[in-house]
Amino acid sequence: MADRFVTVSLDKRDVHCTARLLTDRAPLTCAAVWDALPLAGDVYHAKYARNEIYALFPPFASTEPPLENPTVTPIPGDLCYFSFAGTELATPAYGYDREVRPGGTVVDLALFYERNNLLLNGDVGWVPGIVWGQVVEGLQLMAEACNDLWRTGAAGEALSFRRA
């Protein structure tokens, strides 16, 4: 199979990067994401993991992918997939401005843009993610935009994933 690529964008800032899907390491996750594209949602900057931006989506896979190609120490350029029960994200500590309902599932698609990340959450412990993509172009500009997002705020900004 030929390599597949996605464009990851901060829409308001008009900044994007290109990532290669890791279909050899996370085939079920890559297929689920690829089939669901395009996806876009409000962007959040991580509180616990450190150098991460992400968006939350309703479940889109016909079957939730298993924990393939897992990590708790993502590196710069990793795209990760997380699935959470609504109760895991329903506390005010997470700061979501929309309701995250108990009983439902929430999918988190994340981009890690710098080093020294650790997927350890004080509420639940280790939170392994599925690494399904790796940025191959544009990470430096995206990292600068992510730092700006951290410093100036995420309100009104969207994170989008599209086929390249």
Strand duo 44-45 + 158-163: pairing:
unpaired
Among the four given CATH numbers 2.40.30.10, 2.40.100.20, 1.10.287.130, 3.40.50.360, the one describing domain 5-163: 2.40.100.20
Q: What is the pLDDT along the chain (164 residues), one digit of tens a residue?
A: 689 999 999 999 999 999 999 999 999 999 999 999 999 999 999 987 899 999 999 999 999 999 999 999 999 999 999 998 867 766 665 656 556 666 678 899 999 999 999 999 877 889 999 999 999 999 999 999 999 999 999 999 999 999 99
N- to C-terminal Cα separation, the chain: 16
Rounded CA-CA distance 158/114 in Å is 20
Write a three-state SS string for the chain.
CCCCEEEEEECCCCEEEEEEECCCCCHHHHHHHHHHCCEEEECEECCCCCCEEEEEECCCCCCCCCCCCEECCCCCCEEEEEEEEHHHCCCHHHCCCCCCCCCCEEEEEEEECCCCCCCEECCCEECCEEEEEEEEECHHHHHHHHHHHHHHCCCCCEEEEEEC
What is the share, in percent, of the chain residues with pLDDT greater than 70?
89
Strand duo 129-137 + 70-71: pairing:
antiparallel
Strand partners, 126: 120
The full set of domain ranges for the chain reads 5-163
| pTM (two decimals) | 0.93
Give the pLDDT confidence of 68-99 residue by residue, as tens digits: 999 999 999 999 999 988 677 666 656 565 56
Q: What is the dihedral of CA 23, 43, 61, 76, to 10 degrees?
A: 20
Return the pLDDT at 21.
98
Rounded CA-CA distance 54/52 in Å is 7
